[in-house]
Structure 1
Amino acid sequence: MKKDRFIPLRKTDLIQACIEEGRLTCEQQGEFTALCHLIVSTLHFEYHQVLEELKDSYAPFDPNSDTLAVTQLNANVLESKQAHFSERFIQVLNAANFEQVTDQDLQEALQEESLFKVRLAVEFEDFEDVVFYRRGEYQQSETMSKFAGLFKKTITFTNYDKVAVYIKFKDENYFKYKKTRIANFEPGSTIIKLFQNVPKADLEMLFPNSQVRMRTIDKAIIGGSALVGGAVVLVTKLGASLLVLAGILSYWFGLTNKEVTITTQELLALGVGAGVLGGFVFKEWSKFKNRKLRFMKALADNLYFKNLDNNSGVFHHLIDAAEEEECKEAILAYYFLLSEGKPMTSEQLDTKIEKWFEDKFDFPIDFEIFDALGKLERFGIVHSNAGQYTAFPISSAQAKLDAQWDALFNVVSAPQTQ
C-alpha cells in the first residue's frame, strides 16, 4: 500500500523527539525549541490569512450562514468566488497531506458491499461538482456476525482515517425540471463535510442524497415470508370467501349458467376474507417499511459517530491540520540538516528522515521533502548550493525569522499634515 504523506505526531511531540535524540547540546536544545516556536508562529499567521480568504469566498454559498447579505452579488462574481474557494480549499487539503480519492476508488466503493449491510443508491446527476479527499489509508480486520450470531466471518477492508467531501449541487432550474422535492439541501449550494474512520466500501454513505435500498437477500427474506404467510392465510382463512368469489366470477364470465345467490352468511364470509387479506397485506408492508427504517437508523447511527465537521467548520478544521503538517515538515527538515552538520542533497535528506521516522516510530511515511525545503528557503534559514542544502546556525536562523516576524507588523505611519 502506498505510504502516506501525513506525519502522525503532534508537533510538540515531534520537537521533543528531536531533542531526545541527544544530537544537540543543552544550549542548542533551548535555542532549537525557541526557533520551532518562531516557525509555528510564522506559519500560523500565514494560515490565518488563508482562513480569511476561504471565509470570504465561501460566504455566498454557506447553507449555515447566520449573517445578513449586505450586497447582492451577480452571477460573474459568484462564479469567481466559487472558483477561488475551490482552488484555495484544494490547496489546503494538499497542505494537510490529504490525497484525492480517484474515480476508480469511488467506483470500487460503490460496487463493494457495505460493511454495515445497507445498500445505498446515489443520484450523481444532482451534483455539479464532487470531490473526495482522504488521509490515513490502512488495512483493517473486523469480525462480522451472520444469522443471529450463529456464524462469524473475519473480513479485511481498506479504511480511511479522515475523508473530506466537497459537493456543489446543481441550480434550482434543474430540480424544478426533474420535479424533485427539495428537503435537505439548497439548490446551487456548496456543502463541505469531514468524516473519520470511514471504510472504503462505505464511501457512498457520505453523499447527501444517498437513499437506502433493499438488498437482494432482504427482498428474498421479505418475499419468502410473504409467500409462506400468504399460503397459510389462503388455506386456513380465505377458503370460504374464495369459493363464493369463484362462483360469482364464473357466472359473470359465462363459465357456468348456475346463478349465484349471495346470502348473508356468504356476504359475511366475503367481508371477513377482505378484512383478512387487507390485514395480511398491511402486515407485510409494515415489515418492509420497518426493515427499511432499521437500515436508515443504522446509516444515521453510523454517520453520527463518523461526522467530524460541516461546511465552514470543515475548513477551520483543515486549516489547523494544514498548519500542523507544514510546521512538522519544516521542523524535521531543519533539524536533520542542522544535526548532520554537513551539506545534503534533497534525496539524502528525504531518505534520512523517512528512515528515522520508520525506525523510531515503526510508521513509514512519504516525507514531503521539496515542500519542506521550499518553506525553509522562503524563511531564509537554509542555504542551497549546487543541489546541496546546509542549515544556518540556530542563532542566525532565529535572527532571520525574528526579523521576518517583526516585518509582518511594521505599519508605516502616514505623514502628518500641518
Structure 2
Amino acid sequence: MSVSSAQESVSDSLLAEKAVDEPLVTPLAGFRFIPFRRSDLLQMLRSEARLGPAQERRFEGAVLAISENFRNDFHDSRQALKDLYADLDPDADTRQFPDSALPQDEAVKQLTERLAFLLNRANYEELSEGQLKKAFRSKSLFQIRLRVDLKDFGDVMLFCRGSSERTATVKLLFGLIKRQVRFLNYERVVLFLRFADRGAKTDSEFTPGRVMIKLFQNVPDADLEMLFPNTRVAMRWTDRLLIGIPALASGAIVATTKLGAPLLLLGALGGFWLGLHSEPVALDKRGLLVIGAGIAALGVYLWKQWSSYRNRKERFRQALTRDLYFKLLDNNAGVLLRVLDDAEDSECKEAFVALYFLLAEARALSAKELDSVIEDWFALRWYARLDFEIEDALKKLEYLALAEEHDGLWNVSVQTSTSVVDPS
C-alpha cells in the first residue's frame, strides 16, 4: 500500500499490518515509459551541449515539426474516441441520435481496439489474465481478504505504466512485531470494465453494456482488487479469532451469570414434558420473568457480537475508501483525454531523444548502438532505467524524413523535410 504522507493517515488500529514508513524504491528495467515531462526532457537534452550551432538549429526546427505532426494526429484521434465512447459512457449527459449510433457490441469492439492501441503509444503495458489472477492470489498489504466477482463484467482490461519494487516496514500484532515486505508498485493503472447483464443478479448501479474507465496512481499489484467497483471485504481467520475468542470468553460469563437460572428452569420443564421425571414444575409469573430476562440477555449478547463483527468490516472498508481517494486520478471520458495527452507526449519524447543522439554522435549508428547510447544516458546521467523503444523512435523519424537508414546504419537525413506525415 502506498505510504506517502497523505496516505499514512489511512492507518487504522484495526489493520493487523500496515506500512508505517517511506518505502525503498527500486525501479524495474523493461518498461518503456520515459519518466520526465516533455519540456523537461528537452531541457535535459539541451543541457548536454553536444551540438554545434548548425546542429542546434536543425534540432530545434525538428522539434517543432515533430510536435506539430503529433498534435494534428492526436487531434483527430481525440474526436474519434469521444464519439465511440459517447453512447457507452455512464456519465454522459447528452442525448443519443439514433441514426449515428453504432450497435453496442461493435462500438465496444472498436473502443477496446483503439484504446489498447492508444495506451500502447502512451507506453502502458497490458496485464495478462495470468498476471491478474496471480495478483488476486497475492496477500494484500492491508492484510485483509478482498474478493471480486469478475462475472459482473463482460470485458475487463488492466494496463499499467511505470513499475518499481518497493520495500516497506509493516506492523504485526498491534505494533509489537515489525517486518520488511517487498511488493511491486505500479505508478499508473488504467482499468477498463464493461458491465455484464446478469439478470436478477445484476447490481442496480451497474447498467449492462455501459463501459467504465478509471485511472489510478501508486497501486501495489497485490491490491489490484480494490480498484474494482464490486470489491467485497472478507474477514481473515486472524480477524475472526480476534473477535471470536473474546466473544467466547464473554459468552461463558453471560451463560453462568445471566442464563444460569433460566436454563435450569427450562431444563426442568423439558425433563417433565419428556417424561424424564414425574415431579411437575410450576411455571408462575416469577418463572416467566426469569426466562424472559434470560432471553433478553442472550439477545443483547448476540447483538453486541454481530455489531462488533460488522463494525470491524466497516472500518476496513473506510480505510480502503480513504486510501483509494488518493489513488484515483480520473474517470471515464476524462481518462481518454489524459491518455491521449500522455500518448502524444510519449511519441514526441521518443523522437526527440533519438534525433538528438543521432545528431550528437555525428556518425552512422546501428539501431542497437543508438539504443545502448540512449539507455546508458538515462541510466548514468539521470538514474532512470528503461527499455527505450528504438525501433519505434527510428520509424517515426524516418516517416518524418528526419532520419534515414542504409545497410543497417542510421543517420540524420541530408535534407530535413518540413512536410510531415503520420508515422503510426
Cα offset for 1:131?
1.1
**Preserved contact between residue 135 and residue 161 of structure 1 (Cα < 8 Å):** yes
- The 5-angstrom pairing of residues 230-241 of structure 1 reads 230-241=251-262
Aligned counterparts of 2:208 and 2:403: Cα–Cα separation in 1: 50
**Preserved contact between residue 130 and residue 168 of structure 1 (Cα < 8 Å):** yes
1:154 maps to amino acid: Q
Is 1:329 the counterpart of 2:350? The answer is yes
2:84 maps to amino acid: S
Bigger proportion of residues as helix: 1
Of 110, 114, 122, which aligns to 2:140? 114
Aligned counterparts of 1:65 and 1:39: Cα–Cα separation in 2: 34
1:239 maps to amino acid: G
Q: Which residue of 2 aligns with 1:88?
A: 114
Of 160, 164, 169, which aligns to 1:143? 169
1:120 maps to amino acid: L
Structure-1-length-normalised TM-score = 0.90
Q: Which residue of 1 aligns with 2:180?
A: 154
Cα offset for 1:72?
6.0
Q: Which residue of 2 aligns with 1:253?
A: 274
Cα offset for 1:181?
5.2
Q: Which residue of 1 aligns with 2:9?
A: none
Aligned counterparts of 2:179 and 2:230: Cα–Cα separation in 1: 31
Aligned counterparts of 1:44 and 1:339: Cα–Cα separation in 2: 26
Gaps of 5+ in 2: 1-27
Aligned counterparts of 1:229 and 1:167: Cα–Cα separation in 2: 46
Cα offset for 1:79?
2.1
Q: Which residue of 2 aligns with 1:57?
A: 84
Q: Which residue of 1 aligns with 2:224?
A: 203
**Preserved contact between residue 118 and residue 299 of structure 1 (Cα < 8 Å):** no
3-state secondary structure, aligned to 2:103: helix
Change (3 A) 1:294 1:269: same
Cα offset for 1:345?
1.4
Of 406, 419, 422, which aligns to 1:385? 406
Is 1:15 the counterpart of 2:53? The answer is no
Aligned counterparts of 2:61 and 2:299: Cα–Cα separation in 1: 79
- The 5-angstrom pairing of residues 161-180 of structure 1 reads 161-171=187-197, 175-176=198-199, 179-180=200-201
Cα offset for 1:78?
2.3
3-state secondary structure, aligned to 1:365: coil
Change (3 A) 1:72 1:151: farther
Task: State the percentage of identical aligned residues.
Answer: 39
- The 5-angstrom pairing of residues 6-405 of structure 1 reads 6-26=33-53, 28-71=55-98, 77-171=103-197, 175-176=198-199, 179-180=200-201, 182-392=203-413, 396-397=415-416, 400-401=417-418, 403-404=419-420
**Preserved contact between residue 157 and residue 192 of structure 2 (Cα < 8 Å):** yes
Aligned counterparts of 2:36 and 2:388: Cα–Cα separation in 1: 13
Deviations 1:323-364 (A, max 9, x none): 111111000111111111221111111111111111111221
2:158 maps to amino acid: F
Q: Which residue of 2 aligns with 1:412?
A: none
3-state secondary structure, aligned to 1:9: coil
Aligned counterparts of 2:387 and 2:253: Cα–Cα separation in 1: 65
Cα offset for 1:30?
4.8
Aligned counterparts of 2:235 and 2:185: Cα–Cα separation in 1: 24
1:136 maps to amino acid: G
Cα offset for 1:77?
2.7
Task: Out of 49-58 and 146-155, give the one that drifted further.
Answer: 146-155
2:48 maps to amino acid: E
Cα offset for 1:73?
6.7
Cα offset for 1:158?
0.9
Q: RMSD in angstroms over aligned alpha carbons? A: 1.8
**Preserved contact between residue 51 and residue 359 of structure 2 (Cα < 8 Å):** no
Aligned counterparts of 1:368 and 1:124: Cα–Cα separation in 2: 34
3-state secondary structure, aligned to 1:97: coil
Is 1:5 the counterpart of 2:32? The answer is yes
2:360 maps to amino acid: S
3-state secondary structure, aligned to 1:90: helix
Aligned counterparts of 1:226 and 1:73: Cα–Cα separation in 2: 63
**Preserved contact between residue 354 and residue 367 of structure 1 (Cα < 8 Å):** yes
3-state secondary structure, aligned to 1:61: coil
Deviations 1:221-262 (A, max 9, x none): 222122111101001111111111111111222222221101
**Preserved contact between residue 98 and residue 134 of structure 1 (Cα < 8 Å):** yes
